[in-house]
Structure 1
Amino acid sequence: MTTVKIGGVPEHFNLAWYLTLKNGEYKKENINLRWEDYPGGTGAMNEALRTGEIDMAVILTEGIVKDIAEGNPSKVVQVFVETPLIWGVHVAAGSEFKSIEELKGKRCAISRYGSGSHLMAYINAENHNWDLDTDLNFNVIQDLDGAVNALSNGDADYFMWEKFMTKPIVDSGVFRRIGHCPTPWPCFVIAVRNEFLETHENIVKIILEIINNTTIDFKEIPSIDKMIANRYELQLDDVQEWLSLTEWSQSNVDKATINKVQQKLIKLDILSEQRPYHDIVKNV
């Protein structure tokens, strides 16, 4: 049996992986798929791919594209979620800030450098015509719990995270959401370390087939909304809204999207040079 280590955020987007693991679908194909939660998000998974701690990752598109372009020895093998990620812009409930514009030059909490929360802060800043050199200041907080502490203690002024995962924190009166910032591209892709891909391409192909068979009909699973609400402690109507906005993919990322991501990161001075499509993506 081949052991494969895969990482992802412990969020509702990844429930399909849990279901296929619970059903023993990989073991039937002689694959021991070991899921590892990464609450720290994309920055932590990039590091884990580089060190060989994991073989595969379900990871934010902009984060992995940037890291591969900067030497992460991995390839994107498929889009996982086709629709954009809707980032909420959050402040502490008792904060004086009422609009995104008031956050110009303030301290932004990020899970780590190179993470989605870091990169999307630049996208948000550009959307509001801020000076990227002077109007962005960062405080590294590791994960969602760290963000709660930082905003509550006044160590940071705002924090960007997926709006449905943070909704319970908003509902409980800890955070207040003052705006949104959707990604300008499909939000999650599946990436694989080159070394693993070169020696186990057929295994990767089987894993993709299994997960795709679940995601293609994911919304049709009986009571899937209730299952998500219970497992992730979300309100049922929020889950139903999220499902209506979310589409999974069974295809690889196209050249136009990879170019768009890189060009945006270069424009924001987060990436120094554009890499060819085949350096970042592999079709299996």
Structure 2
Amino acid sequence: MKTIKIAGVPEHFNLPWQLCIDNGEFEKMGIDLQWTDIPEGTGKMCQMLRDGETDMAVILSEGIVKDIVAGNDCAIVQVYVESPLIWGIHVAAKSDYQALSDLENTKAAISRYGSGSHLMAYVNAQNQNWATEELQFEIVNTLDGAVEALTNGTADYFMWERFMTQPLVDKGIFRRVADCPSPWPCFVIAVRNEFLKNNQQSVALILETINATTAEFKSIPSIDRTLASKYHQKLEDIQQWLQLTKWSQKPLEEKVLNNIQNQLFDLKIIDKKGTFAAIVKAV
């Protein structure tokens, strides 16, 4: 049995992995796939890949592209979720900010630098014609940290996946002022290059297994109820999320990578662009 470590956010997107592990799908392939939930998100997972703490990660496209260009020795082997991530833009429920335009020149809470909440703040600012060089940030690490920062006023707004934050909106802790969809597929699967070189067949088996599950995921009986219960969501919200979410079983295309890199470059998040061959590896 080969032990392989994989990391991802503890969100509804990743339930297919949990189902495969619980059903012993990877074990049948001779793989002990050890999943670690990372509530801190993409910035933390980039560091784990760099440090060899995980072999693979299910990670936000923009975050891992930025980190590979910056020297993280890993590669994208597949798109995991093809649809955009819908980022809710949230303020504290009692905040004086009422509209998205009120948030210009205020402070964004982010999980960490290089995370989706950090990079998407730039995308949102560009969409609103704000001066991106004027953006201010407060590192909060997790969703709980964001609740604390917005409630006590050390940050003014927070961008996070809108369905995972919906319970906080329902409870009157956050108020959502707008949405900002990512302009690219949201999640990809990344692997450390050293690990991939030595374990290509195992990685291929993992992809084959998860792809078989994601292809059928929406047709699993009562999957909406399972998701609603596990992630403390209202059934109608999960049903809407399922309609909007499209899993992928395909590699990242060069034109999509170019779109991501071009936007990151324009926003001065990266100062150079990597080649397709260096960032995307076929398995």
TM-score, normalising length from structure 1? 0.99
User: Is residue 155 of structure 2 the alignment partner of residue 167 of structure 1?
Assistant: no
User: Is residue 207 of structure 2 the alignment partner of residue 208 of structure 1?
Assistant: yes
Q: d(CA) in 1 for partners of 2:33 and 2:232?
A: 26
Q: Which residue of 2 aligns with 1:37?
A: 37
Q: Which residue of 1 aligns with 2:132?
A: 132
Q: d(CA) in 2 for partners of 1:172 and 1:273?
A: 43
1:48-76 deviations in whole A, cap 9, x for unaligned?
00000000000000000000011000000
Q: d(CA) in 2 for partners of 1:239 and 1:53?
A: 32
User: Is residue 92 of structure 2 the alignment partner of residue 92 of structure 1?
Assistant: yes
Shift of 1:42: 0.2
Q: What secondary structure is seen at the aligned counterpart in 1 of 2:132?
A: coil
Q: What secondary structure is seen at the aligned counterpart in 1 of 2:7?
A: strand
Q: Which residue of 1 aligns with 2:16?
A: 16
1:160-193 deviations in whole A, cap 9, x for unaligned?
0000000000000000000000000000000000
Q: Which runs of 5+ in 2 are unaligned?
A: none
Q: d(CA) in 1 for partners of 2:133 and 2:177?
A: 23
Q: What secondary structure is seen at the aligned counterpart in 2 of 1:271?
A: coil
Shift of 1:258: 0.6
Q: d(CA) in 2 for partners of 1:249 and 1:275?
A: 23
Q: Which residue of 2 aligns with 1:235?
A: 234
* Correspondence list, 1:57-136, <5 A: 57-134=57-134, 136=135
- The one-letter code of the counterpart of 1:68 is I
Q: d(CA) in 2 for partners of 1:22 and 1:245?
A: 26
Q: Which residue of 2 aligns with 1:143?
A: 142
Q: Which residue of 2 aligns with 1:56?
A: 56
Q: Which residue of 1 aligns with 2:198?
A: 199
Shift of 1:219: 0.3
Q: d(CA) in 1 for partners of 2:26 and 2:217?
A: 18
Shift of 1:133: 1.1
Shift of 1:100: 1.0
Shift of 1:282: 0.4
Q: What secondary structure is seen at the aligned counterpart in 2 of 1:17?
A: helix
Shift of 1:14: 0.2
1:221-271 deviations in whole A, cap 9, x for unaligned?
000000000000000000000000010000001000111101100100100
Q: What secondary structure is seen at the aligned counterpart in 1 of 2:58?
A: strand
Q: d(CA) in 2 for partners of 1:257 and 1:28?
A: 34
Q: What secondary structure is seen at the aligned counterpart in 2 of 1:217?
A: helix
Q: d(CA) in 1 for partners of 2:263 and 2:201?
A: 34
Q: d(CA) in 2 for partners of 1:275 and 1:29?
A: 34
- The one-letter code of the counterpart of 1:110 is I
Q: Which residue of 2 aligns with 1:155?
A: 154
- The one-letter code of the counterpart of 1:243 is L
Where in structure 1 do 4 or more consecutive aligned residues deviate above 4 Å? Answer: none
Q: d(CA) in 1 for partners of 2:254 and 2:270?
A: 18
CA RMSD of aligned residues (A): 0.4
Aligned residues: 283
- The one-letter code of the counterpart of 1:203 is S
Q: Which runs of 5+ in 1 are unaligned?
A: none
Task: Work out the percentage of aligned pairs sharing the same amino acid.
Answer: 57
Shift of 1:9: 0.1
Q: What secondary structure is seen at the aligned counterpart in 2 of 1:84?
A: coil
Q: d(CA) in 1 for partners of 2:93 and 2:10?
A: 25
1:133-157 deviations in whole A, cap 9, x for unaligned?
12x1000000100000000111100
